[in-house]
């Protein structure tokens, strides 16, 4: 447990770890026969050498509760990697995570640092002083914090921190609650910045077959011929301007 209700899980999954990229997710199956739908969880870290992957998630129901009770050596069924993932930036980037949207930004930060293609800073928004993963982000480079209660960093949200610390970049990468993504989309448009967002939605199949996860989009989708996109298949990462929030 990293913070109340927030858990970290490493799994040994050689084939997935080999091909996965930051921003993708994995469907994790519960053992209970009554809960057949897997839970989609974003990849937080990939250790290609050890062929393992890390997931950091919040317990929000019986499925995630079950995962939080797993012990070392237990076996679980997973499907992945799923979704498209983040493109690695080539221009100065700001990586932004809000709440349980913070974990997927860690592997992105590590990948950018390893690729050495551009400068980047991270901005994380938490509720309070339970700043899970902050030390890991600090190892990757400069990072800034906003907390709703003002206990650490700037008081307010990630946008307040960006303004307070006068952070600027060419491209924003963000994952977090919809109001945060909506505010960042508007801010990026106003500032002429490119903005990629990773969206979360309740999913069923996770592989593009059931349409349980669609969001509204600007353009017609080639698959369904209506103005929507499947978050599990065309996403979860979208250019902010492509989707309606």
Q: Say whether residue 206 binds ligand FES (CB under 6 A).
A: yes
Q: Under 8 Å CB-to-CB from 55, ≥6 apart: which residues?
A: 8, 9, 10, 11, 26, 28, 41, 42, 43, 44, 103
Total of chain residues touching ligand FES, rule CB under 6 A: 13
CA atoms within 13 A on the CB side of 9: 28
Q: Say whether residue 211 binds ligand FES (CB under 6 A).
A: yes
- Among 88, 204, 239, 245, which residue sits at the site for ligand FES (rule: CB under 6 A)? 204
Select 110 or 230, whichever has its Cβ closest to ligand FES: 230
- The answer to whether 235 touches 206, Cβ cutoff 8 Å, is no
CA distance 196 to 187: 12
Give the interface segment with ligand FES, choosing from 29-37, 71-79, 123-131, 227-235 (CB under 6 A): 227-235
Shortest Cβ 222–ligand FES spacing (Å): 14
- Among 46, 159, 232, 243, which residue sits at the site for ligand FES (rule: CB under 6 A)? 232
**In the numeric block, which tokens belong to residue 161?**
């921190």
Q: Please name the residue that has the structure tokens 């921190």.
A: 161
Q: Say whether residue 188 binds ligand FES (CB under 6 A).
A: no
Q: Say whether residue 237 binds ligand FES (CB under 6 A).
A: no
Rg (CA), the chain: 17
Q: Rule CB under 6 A: which residues touch ligand FES?
A: 203-206, 208-213, 230, 232-233
């Amino acid at each position: 447990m990293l913070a109340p209700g927030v858990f970290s899980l490493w799994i040994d999954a050689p084939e997935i770890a080999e091909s996965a990229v930051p921003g993708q997710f994995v469907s994790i199956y519960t053992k209970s026969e009554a809960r057949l739908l897997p839970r989609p969880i974003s990849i937080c870290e990939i250790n290609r050498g050890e062929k393992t992957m890390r997931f950091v998630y919040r317990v929000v129901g019986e499925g995630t509760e079950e995962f939080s009770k797993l012990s070392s050596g237990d076996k679980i069924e997973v499907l992945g990697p799923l979704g498209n993932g983040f493109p690695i930036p080539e221009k100065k980037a700001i990586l932004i995570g809000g709440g349980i949207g913070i974990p997927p930004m860690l592997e992105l930060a590590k990948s950018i640092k390893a690729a050495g293609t551009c400068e980047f800073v991270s901005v994380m928004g938490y509720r309070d002083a339970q700043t899970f993963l902050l030390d890991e982000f600090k190892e990757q480079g400069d990072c800034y914090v906003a907390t709703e209660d003002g206990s650490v960093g700037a008081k307010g949200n990630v946008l307040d921190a960006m303004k307070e610390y006068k952070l600027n970049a060419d491209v924003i990468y963000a994952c977090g609650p919809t109001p945060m993504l909506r505010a960042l989309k508007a801010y990026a448009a106003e500032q002429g910045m490119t903005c990629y967002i990773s969206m979360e939605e309740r999913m069923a199949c996770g592989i593009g077959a059931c349409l349980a996860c669609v969001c509204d989009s600007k353009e017609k989708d080639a698959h369904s011929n209506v103005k929507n996109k499947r978050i599990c298949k065309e996403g979860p990462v979208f250019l902010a301007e492509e989707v309606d929030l």
